[in-house]
Amino acid sequence: MIATENIATKKINTLIKEYPFLADFFENHQIDVKQNGEHTIESYMASVDEEDREDFAMDQEKLVSAMLSYIDQMMAFLDTEEDKGVESLTIEAGTDKKGEAENFEALKISKSEIICIVGPTGSGKSRLLGDIEWVAQKDTPTSRKILINDDIPDKKWRFSSSDKLVAQLSQNMNFVMDLSVYEFIELHAQSRMVENEKEIIEKIITEANKLAGEPFDPETPVTSLSGGQSRALMIADTAILSSSPIILIDEIENAGIDRQRALELLVGEEKIVLMATHDPILALMGDKRIVIKNGGIDKIIPTSKEEKGFLTELEAMDRTVQLMRKRLRNGEILTSLR
């Protein structure tokens, strides 16, 4: 709760800067912000003659009380109250499609870890992700249980429209809004009520351009971004601005972006990253990989030092493939693989 004296002695313009939604509050109370923005609540009330205060039933104590209540309600609605955050996610074993117990007891995933999910199409990867998003409590077909910070999770992860445990980045994303890249991120930043809005917007665009195969500028319409540019923008936006502590990426290998840099960005922002992939390079970039079979978790495999050695070789091969792709796109005739 904000102290009453702080509200009463702050300028109206300052209050609106801190809580943009107060502009509606002042309008509803017939207080002209343009004319009275430099007033504090105290000085504004002192400037209103007694007859007008009686006509509009204006009283400083009641006005401040109503404002405090309005701020509390809006902050709760927007979920801007301070939160301890998600330090870890634990998956407790359930059953596979046959009702047989999964081949593990529990998997604890900590902040800044990358977990890859592999398995044939239809094996149950989506069901696992659904259990995480729904924070299952043995009440889904798999009977798995999800813990947050080693405890039964707050119900907000299930029922709040503003609290999202998982932010999903799907393979296909299409923008329909008639906004520039800058305006799109600005809208998201304003909804999050960030203090350093301009700095955050510039950081997201800079990081997105590091990921994208072809750079774009802030004034580029989002509807004209390529698939790779769109994915790069959303990864940067999700990493830096999203409040979701867990990020799910589906088949990033087809995004046309710098995959390793994308993962480094997400981990650098202290997210838990779960990545469904068929790409051996990405699978070996993870700290562990979950192998799904027949709807259940069949294995949990930590990435070994030997596998990391293979990763170096695979990355060298991948760079060659990327170079060939670039040369072909530029209309060159290949005479060697270098």
Binned at pLDDT 50, 70 and 90, residue 163 comes out as low
Binned at pLDDT 50, 70 and 90, residue 76 comes out as low
- Better-scored residue on pLDDT, 141 or 213: 141
pLDDT 10s digits, 217-264:
999 998 888 888 888 898 899 889 887 888 888 766 555 677 778 888
- For residue 296, count other CB atoms closer than 10 A to its CB: 26
Residue range 277-290: average pLDDT?
89
What does residue 77 show for φ and ψ, rounded to 5 degrees? -65, -40
Confidence at residue 81, expressed as pLDDT on a 0 to 100 scale:
42
What the chain holds in terms of domains, given with CATH numbers, is 4-78 (no CATH), 88-303 (3.40.50.300)
CA-to-CA distance for 144 and 128, rounded, in angstroms? 9
Binned at pLDDT 50, 70 and 90, residue 277 comes out as confident
Percentage of the chain modeled with pLDDT above 70 = 87
CA-to-CA distance for 201 and 237, rounded, in angstroms? 9
Pairing of strands 246-250, 114-118: unpaired
Confidence at residue 1, expressed as pLDDT on a 0 to 100 scale:
43
